[in-house]
Amino acid sequence: MITVEISDKQNLSKIITIFKNLNKITEHVNINFTKNYMYIQGKCSINICIVELNLLNTWFDKYEIDEDSTVGVNCEVLFKVISCISDNQTLVISNDNGDTIDIEFKGQNTIEKKFELQMVELEEELLDIPYKEHEVDIKISSATFSDLINQIKMFGEELTISCTDENVNLKTTSISGTSNIILNEDNLIEYGIEEDLKLVSKFGINYLHVISTFSKLSSETNVHISKDFPLEVRNTIEGSWMDDSDNEDNEDSNDFNDKNMIRFFLAPKIDD
C-alpha cells in the first residue's frame, strides 16, 4: 500500500516541473517507493543522458509505505494529470498493490478530482552509479545557467567547455560563426579545478538545454566535469521547510539517497 501527499504549494510546483520536463528525456519511468525515500532513474532512448531523482520521505506532507514498491508510469500522462490541480488543493498519490495508480486532488471549498492511471510494466534494471570526485567543480546561479544554455542553443548544436585555473570558456561553432562565453570566479558562486589542469570536453547542446529546464527546482546548479567522463549536473530540490544547513548537508553527502536532489549524467562527444 502506497499513500503520499503533497499540499505545500512550492513543492507541488516542483513536482509539476519535474514531470513536465522528464518526458523530454524518457517516456516512461519506474517510481521506486521505499520507506525512507522515493527514487526515479531514467535514460534517453540513445543512452547518452541519465536522470536520477531522489526525494526523502520528510519532503512530503504525508508518506506511508507498507513495503518497498515500484510503479511504472508514462511521464507525459502523469504530468497532464498533475497539472490539473487547482489552488489550495492537496495532491494524493496511492496504490493498493493493484495495477493502477490513483491520483486525487482535494481541498476545502475546491472541486475534488480523481484519476486512475494504468501502470506501465518496465523491465529495465537500475544502473549503479558510483560516487566520483571530479576534476572540475562549478557552482553557478541556476538562473544564469539556464540563461547561458538558452543563448548557446541559438548558435550551434555542440558545446565545447574549456576549463583552466583562470576561467571557464563555453564555445559554440556553426556555419554562421563562433560564439565564446567566458566565465571567471566573479561570475560563479564557486569554482574548483585540479592544479595546472587544462580540460576540454564537448557535449550536445540539446540535452544540456533539457537539463537546464530543471533549474527552477533550486537557486544553484552544480556542474562537475572530468575528461572522458560524463558531465554531471546536480540540483538540490529545495522546499519551503528547508534552510541553508539542509541544503549544505544534502550536497556534501556522498550517498545520493540521503538527498532531496535531481542529477543528470551526459556523455561527452567523442571526436572521430
Distance CA 10, CA 238 (A): 9
pLDDT at 226 over 80: yes
Q: What predicted TM-score, i.e. pTM, was given to this entire model? A: 0.91
Extract the C-alpha cell encoding 223. Answer: 556542474
For the chain, the residue count is 272
Distance CA 267, CA 203 (A): 7
Extract the C-alpha cell encoding 77. Answer: 500522462
The one-letter amino acid at 248: E
Mean predicted lDDT score pLDDT of the chain? 92
- Sign of the torsion formed by the C-alpha atoms of 206, 79, 261 and 88: positive
Alpha-helical segments (H) within 71-156: 75-82, 142-153
Query: What tens digit of pLDDT does each residue of 136-168 get?
Result: 999 999 999 999 999 999 888 999 999 999 999
**Whole-number Cα distances in Å, 196 to 19, 135, 152, 182, 193:** 41, 11, 27, 18, 8
